[in-house]
């Protein structure tokens, strides 16, 4: 069942209670400074979209949250738990509560769709008591929620880009996370599939009552799915707030990004003439 006007009413409650807090986070790779004092709060139940140009560290933020990258200094808390000091083993409990849709969907090419969606159900310790029938029912329901019922036997190679994204999302929601991270969910998709993914982000947030963090440079997606936006610029959060604040911003850095205007001095004709 794809999310549409006939879907159940929203169960999502957006609050002003912090669930995830980045405070004074610093991160660099060699001489490249990615974050130099990142401060950001993600409230329970909201859909927050992280904006910023390519290479500013949007995906790095997600990887620091789930422990794939460690901060150089500063603090990240999840539901009151400090993450920067926990062991890799202890991080497993945190990852159980957070699902992630990777940029390329990250499906296992050697597994069929059903096996891909079931993968986390076999891996998470707290779910290992599920019977095979329960797992198959969970897989089927997850695929229904992303509008792809009955495609369990198909292989990833047989799927379109949009279908791969949706299967990746089905795998993510199958483990019933409290938080879903979307890393560039519409990159490489045509307008129809982009709209389909946007609808799924909103519909799943409402139907499953989850907190969502979306990383994108697609302003259509950002304005469509978000309760709040935050823009990364030079290692910090330049601006955050309701989408209307961004639409009406007079800050040239924000306005140029939203409208897709290159900064002065980057005119291609001029650069070629300077040769």
- CA 160 from centroid of its chain's CA atoms: 20
What is d(CA 108, CA 192) in angstroms, rounded to the nearest whole number? 25
pLDDT above 60 for 5:
no
pLDDT above 70 for 11:
no
* Residues 171, 108 contacting (CB under 8 angstroms): no
Q: How many C-beta atoms lie closer than 10 Å to residue 60's C-beta?
A: 21
DSSP-assigned letters across all residues of 42-96: EETT-EEEEE--TTSSHHHHHHHHTTSS--SEEEEEETTEE-TTS-TTTHHHHHH
**What's the whole-number average pLDDT of the chain?**
88
Find the domain containing 241 and state its range: 8-97+212-275
What is d(CA 118, CA 194) in angstroms, rounded to the nearest whole number? 25
In a domain, 266, yes or no: yes
In a domain, 69, yes or no: yes
In a domain, 156, yes or no: no
Query: pLDDT > 70: what percent of the chain?
Result: 89
pLDDT above 90 for 169:
yes
pLDDT single digits (tens) 55-97: 899 999 999 999 999 999 999 999 999 999 988 777 888 888 9
In a domain, 240, yes or no: yes
pLDDT above 90 for 10:
no
DSSP-assigned letters across all residues of 122-173: HH-GGGTT--HHHHHHHHHHHHHHTT-TT-TT--GGGS-HHHHHHHHHHHHH
In a domain, 162, yes or no: no
Phi, psi of 217 (to 5 degrees): -115, 10
How many CA atoms does the CB half-sphere of 47 hold within 13 Å? 23
> What is residue 260's predicted lDDT score, i.e. its pLDDT?
84
In a domain, 220, yes or no: yes
Query: pLDDT > 90: what percent of the chain?
Result: 66
pLDDT above 90 for 19:
yes
In a domain, 189, yes or no: no
- Average the pLDDT over 23-43 and give the result: 96
Number of domains composing the chain: 1
Kindly state the helix (H) or strand (E) to which residue 31 belongs, with its residue range.
none
pLDDT above 60 for 125:
no
For residue 109, give the DSSP letter: T
- Average the pLDDT over 41-47 and give the result: 96
Cβ neighbours of residue 108 under 8 Å, at least 6 residues apart?
Answer: 115, 116, 119, 156
> What is residue 3's predicted lDDT score, i.e. its pLDDT?
43
> What is residue 123's predicted lDDT score, i.e. its pLDDT?
76
- Average the pLDDT over 200-208 and give the result: 92
Torsion of CA 49, 55, 61, 62, to 10 degrees: 70
Considering all CA atoms of the chain, what is the largest pairwise distance in Å, rounded to the nearest integer? 68
* CATH number where 69 lies: 3.40.50.300
> What is residue 248's predicted lDDT score, i.e. its pLDDT?
94
* Residues 154, 10 contacting (CB under 8 angstroms): no
In a domain, 171, yes or no: no
């Amino acid at each position: 069942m794809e999310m549409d006007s006939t879907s159940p009413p929203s169960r999502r409650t957006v609050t002003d209670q912090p669930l995830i807090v980045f405070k004074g986070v610093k991160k660099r790779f060699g001489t490249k400074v990615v974050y130099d004092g990142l401060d950001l709060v993600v409230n329970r139940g909201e859909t927050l979209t992280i904006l910023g140009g390519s290479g500013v560290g949007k995906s790095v933020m997600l990887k620091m949250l789930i422990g794939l990258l460690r901060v150089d200094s500063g603090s990240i808390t999840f539901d009151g738990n400090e993450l920067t000091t926990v062991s890799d083993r202890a991080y497993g409990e945190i990852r159980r509560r957070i699902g992630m849709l990777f940029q390329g969907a990250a499906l296992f090419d050697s597994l069929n769709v059903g096996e891909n969606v079931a993968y986390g159900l076999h891996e998470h310790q707290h779910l290992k008591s599920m019977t095979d029938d329960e797992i198959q029912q969970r897989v089927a329901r997850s695929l229904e929620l992303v509008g792809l019922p009955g495609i369990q036997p198909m292989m990833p190679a047989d799927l379109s880009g949009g279908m791969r994204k949706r299967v990746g999302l089905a795998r993510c929601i199958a483990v019933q996370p409290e938080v879903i991270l979307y890393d560039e969910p519409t990159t490489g998709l045509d307008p129809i599939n982009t709209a389909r993914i946007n609808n799924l982000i909103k519909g799943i947030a409402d139907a499953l009552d989850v907190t969502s963090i979306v990383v994108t440079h697609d302003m259509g997606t950002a304005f469509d799915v978000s309760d709040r936006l935050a823009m990364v610029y030079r290692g910090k959060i330049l601006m955050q707030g309701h989408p209307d604040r961004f639409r009406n911003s007079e800050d040239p850095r924000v306005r140029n990004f939203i409208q897709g205007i290159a900064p002065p001095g980057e005119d291609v004709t001029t650069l070629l003439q300077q040769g």
